[in-house]
Amino acid sequence: MKKRFKIALAGNPNCGKTSIFNALTGARQHVGNYPGVTVESKSGFFSIGDAEIELVDLPGVYSLSSSSPEEDVAFHELTKPGVDLILNVIDSSIPRRSLYLTTQLAELHIPMMLVFNMSDDARKKGMKFDIKKFEHYFGSPIAQTVGRSSEGVAPLVSKLSEALKNLEDHGVPMLSYGSDIDDSIEAVAEKIDRLGVEKYAHIPSRFFAIKLLESDSCTMRIPEFQPVWKEVSGQIKHLSEIHAIDDTSTFMADRRYAMLAGACRDAISMTGERRREISDKIDTIVTNKFLGLPLFLAIIYLTFWFTFTCADPLMGWIEEAFSWMSDSVRSVWSENSWPYMRSLVTDGVIAGVGGVLVFLPNILFLFFAIAILEESGYMARAAFVMDGIMRKFGLQGKSFVPLILGFGCNVPAIMATRSIESERDRKTTIMILPLMSCGARLPIYALIIPAFFALKFQALVMWTIYLIGIAVALVCARLLKATLFKGDGEVYLMELPPYRLPTLRSLLLHMWDRGKMYLHKAGTIILATSIILYIFNTYPEKETFSKDYESQIESLKAGVKLNEKQMEILSENNLLSAGDIGDIAASGTLPEGILDSLSGKKMTYAQKAILSRISDVDDKVNMLENERKAEAMEYTISGRIGKFLEPVFKPIGFDWKLTTASIGALAAKEVFVSQLGILYAEGETDEESVPLREQLIKNYTPLQGFCIMLFCLLSIPCLATLAVIKRELNSWKAVFCEALGLFALAYISTFAVYQIASALQIGTKLAG
């Protein structure tokens, strides 16, 4: 007996195939992508006795046609040599629909075993199967299972063991589509046999004859079958004349369903009265035309809240861990020993890896929540509720979920588009997702809006920015579907599976698979680009400055060093500890946070005067230190690029500093704020920085402030987003087109707003 076997696991989406796969393979799984496409590839290994089995989990499909990338992949995988047996998982609660794929699999004449899964749901519906009749009809053994609870897995393994021992004696299915159609199939099959195509010698010519009569694009693309096209055309014309049909593909589908209707009528009986299911009762509310949309938005909000609430503390711990790691390296690695490498490791490599891993909790919790929605059966309802609205913009309902998730982070949102079957809709959704205002843009809005707009208008401006992103995204979707991704509208028969309680094991496996994928695929690219940006923002280092910053700083500090009398004054009433006073005396500056700790304490006039004088010096020292940083930044590659590009950005209201900050924002949108703070030589550089806002007010108009937000909203997304687009679309061309297209959109839009508003004198006066 053969010792190694390859089994293909096939079935419809939502049939419980993943549960069967997990039950058989356990943790011995490998997840990736099929070469050249973004369809997920999953394989696992398990043993039955001394037989080693590789189980290949094919994409969930409804047929072996080629209306989707998943069906294309399944077709090519099953027509390649090497598959010893097909394990076809059936949702036995909807047998007629599920067995449609089985009829096509049977025509391959590859040994097959059927798994009637979800048999508990079938029992609740009052269904009773004559398994012997089904086995005889399809020429395949059948096992009944409940995948999510592992019920029936042991009998499945036992029957699978028997099937592997008798591969040479597998049955032949009793499939007939009517004498006239069978005659046409036979005529085309004879022509194929005469060609003697060795590549497909292991597949019956009858299978390809049926696919050619259905005008299946996968089969039509096989060049070896081109000589039989004339015969195929003649037979299609013949069948069209006899049956008065326009489309043989739909005609063959009708015949398959008619054949299955007879088989199911003969082999399935109903026990008792078929009662209305709980799922149907829930759907009267969940898919209600008035309540469906509010409920959907509430559920998406809860998903969003769950993801970021649960992830937030973990993200904080990861940030602290990498900060500790960086500080530890600095403490043991002397500044005088390989200083450039030390800086690269701490500020480039460690910071880059930390920048990747900090998103991991969001990824894990997001996909945990998505897995709950998918496996419970709700995601199909969400797509149904939003389908009508989204189709007005050329998309389908499933596109709405990733767009909503994009308000949190574009990276996991793009990964969530994998639930969209249509390749055109999926690509369109991915391309417009960066227009959703992700959380990384919030620091920019939080800096700009309070600086330039009165309190009563701030919420309106924020709402307007988000609304602009949504409106532009939908318009772009419409344009993309009318041009680059043009094609006939695809009809989706949305299956609403019964509600089910997901198992914790399947949820954790789903979450972990996506987490590994994020780390393995996006992580390496993000790390590399983070290091590159570090180099751009650091080198070349400026050695000669416009002023002697170090001597000025030392002079300022020396002027406030405490004498004994001042130290005594500060120690009165236990205002400061001896340690704090010693630190102030030694450094000439106030320890970090010392003024906050003194808030509310009673101080004498002399104490206030001393602390105020030292605080003023601190501010001047910080100003000088950051002036030095700003001058050094202007000298770096990023600074020089900003100066070089300033004439290009001037028509949209940007000077070289805003241009340089925009370049830094390629790494992460939040970097825009921190780099702008350094360039304006302020001690505080985050969104709460009042001095930075004051500098913006002094140097820019409200119109320029609005243009900053508009450009950051519409322009090139962060490198993490571009990296994931590359991995999901498997195309550098798509990444460059996305980057250039969004930059052009942002530039043209901002240019129009800035120039028109300037001509009309709207918001052109300095707020300061």
Query: What's the pLDDT band for 742 if we cut at 50, 70, 90?
Result: very high
DSSP letter assigned to residue 354: H
Lowest mean pLDDT among 33-47, 518-532, 635-649, 722-736: 518-532
- Which has more pLDDT, 35 or 692? 692
pLDDT at 361 over 90: no
Per-residue pLDDT at 684: 40
Residue-wise DSSP of 118-181: -HHHHHHTTEEE-HHHHHHHHTS-EEE-BGGGTBTHHHHHHHHHHHHHTGGG---------HHH
- The 3-state secondary structure of 469-528 reads HHHHHHHHHHHHHHCCCCCCCCCCCCCCCCCCCCCHHHHHHHHHHHHHHHHHHHHHHHHH
Q: Which residue has the higher pLDDT, 371 or 51?
A: 51
Query: Is the confidence at residue 729, as pLDDT, over 70?
Result: yes
Mean pLDDT of the chain: 79
Dist CA 249 CA 232 (whole Å)? 13
Counting beta carbons within 10 angstroms of the beta carbon of residue 240, is it exposed (0 to 12), middle (13 to 18) or buried (19 or more)?
middle
Count other C-beta atoms under 10 Å from residue 252's C-beta: 21
Angstrom distance (rounded) from CA 631 to CA 603? 39
Would you say residue 473 has pLDDT above 70? yes
E strands, 536-695, in order: none
Q: Are strands 4-11 and 51-57 parallel, antiparallel or unpaired?
A: parallel
Question: What backbone torsions phi and psi does residue 88 show, to the nearest 5 degrees?
Answer: -100, 115
Q: Mention every residue, 6+ apart, whose C-beta is less than 8 A from residue 758.
A: 703, 764
The string of pLDDT tens digits covering residues 382-439 is 777 777 777 788 887 778 778 877 776 788 788 778 767 677 888 899 999 999 887 6
Which pLDDT does position 703 carry in this prediction?
A: 93
Tell the burial category of 68 from Cβ atoms under 10 Å away from its Cβ (0-12, 13-18, 19+).
buried
> pLDDT digits over 284-295, tens only?
788 787 888 888
Q: Predicted confidence band at 358 (pLDDT cuts at 50, 70, 90)? A: low
> Exposed (0-12), middle (13-18) or buried (19+): which is 765, by Cβ within 10 Å?
exposed
pLDDT at residue number 610: 81
Q: What is the pLDDT of residue 651?
A: 95
- Strand-pair category, 4-11 with 29-33: unpaired
Q: Which long-range contacts (CB under 8 A, 24 or more apart) does 341-349 make?
A: 343/538, 344/531, 344/534, 344/535, 347/534, 347/538, 348/530, 348/531, 348/534, 348/535, 349/527, 349/531
Confidence of residue 686 (pLDDT cuts 50, 70, 90): very low
Which range is most confident: 331-345, 512-526, 603-617, 708-722?
708-722
What is the per-residue pLDDT across 81-102, written as a single tens digit (0 to 9) for each? 889 999 999 988 888 888 889 9
Q: Is the model more confident about 465 or about 535?
A: 465
Strands, E assignment, 616-720: none
pLDDT given for residue 273 in this prediction:
42
With cut-offs at 50, 70 and 90, classify the pLDDT of residue 491.
Answer: very low
46 has pLDDT over 80 = yes
Closest CA to 306 of 517, 507, 31, 474: 507
Higher pLDDT, 222 or 375: 222
- Residue 525's pLDDT is 56
Sorted by sequence, the CB contacts under 8 Å of residue 294 that are 6+ apart come out as none
Most confident region among 181-195, 414-428, 535-549, 690-704 by mean pLDDT: 181-195
* Burial class (CB within 10 angstroms; exposed 0-12, middle 13-18, buried 19+) of 6: middle
Q: State the pLDDT confidence band at 114, using cuts at 50, 70 and 90.
A: very high
Three-state DSSP class for residue 113: strand
Alpha-carbon torsion angle 370, 374, 375, 381, nearest 10:
140
Number of other residues whose CB lies within 10 A of the CB of residue 125: 16
Cis bond before residue 540 (omega within 30° of 0): yes
Q: Is the pTM of this model over 0.75?
A: no
In this model, does residue 493 exceed pLDDT 50?
Answer: no
Phi-psi domain of 49 (left: phi exceeds 0; alpha: psi -120 through 50; beta: other): left
Are 618 and 559 contacting, i.e. CB atoms less than 8 angstroms apart? no
**Predicted local confidence at residue 523, as pLDDT:** 58
Does the pLDDT at position 517 exceed 70?
A: no
- Model confidence band, residue 711 (pLDDT cutoffs 50, 70, 90): very high
Is the pLDDT reported for residue 667 higher than 80?
A: no
Q: Please, which pLDDT band fits residue 750 given cuts at 50, 70 and 90?
A: very high
Task: For each of the domains in the chain, give its residue range(s) and CATH number, in order of start.
Answer: 4-169 (3.40.50.300), 179-270 (1.10.287.1770), 292-454+469-482 (no CATH), 504-527+628-759 (no CATH), 549-616 (no CATH)
pLDDT in tens, 4-16: 899 999 998 878 8
Q: How confident is the model at residue 112 (pLDDT cuts 50, 70, 90)?
A: very high
Q: Is 321 helix (H, G, I), strand (E, B) or coil?
A: helix
Q: Which burial class, exposed, middle or buried, applies to 656 when counting CB atoms under 10 A from its CB (0-12, 13-18, 19+)?
A: buried
Contact by Cβ (8 Å): 738, 431: yes
pLDDT at residue 706 greater than cutoff 90: yes
CB 181 within 8 A of CB 255: yes
Q: In this predicted structure, which of 113-127, 251-265, 735-749 has the lowest mean pLDDT?
A: 251-265
What tokens were used for 142?
Answer: 């059948």
Does residue 203 have a pLDDT over 50? yes
648 pLDDT more than 90: yes
At residue 756, the pLDDT reads 95
CB of 516 closer than 8 Å to CB of 31: yes
Cα distances from 547 to residues 99, 587, 625, in angstroms, run 81, 22, 12
Secondary structure letter of residue 26 according to DSSP: T
**What span, in angstroms and rounded, lies between the C-alpha atoms of 522 and 346?**
21
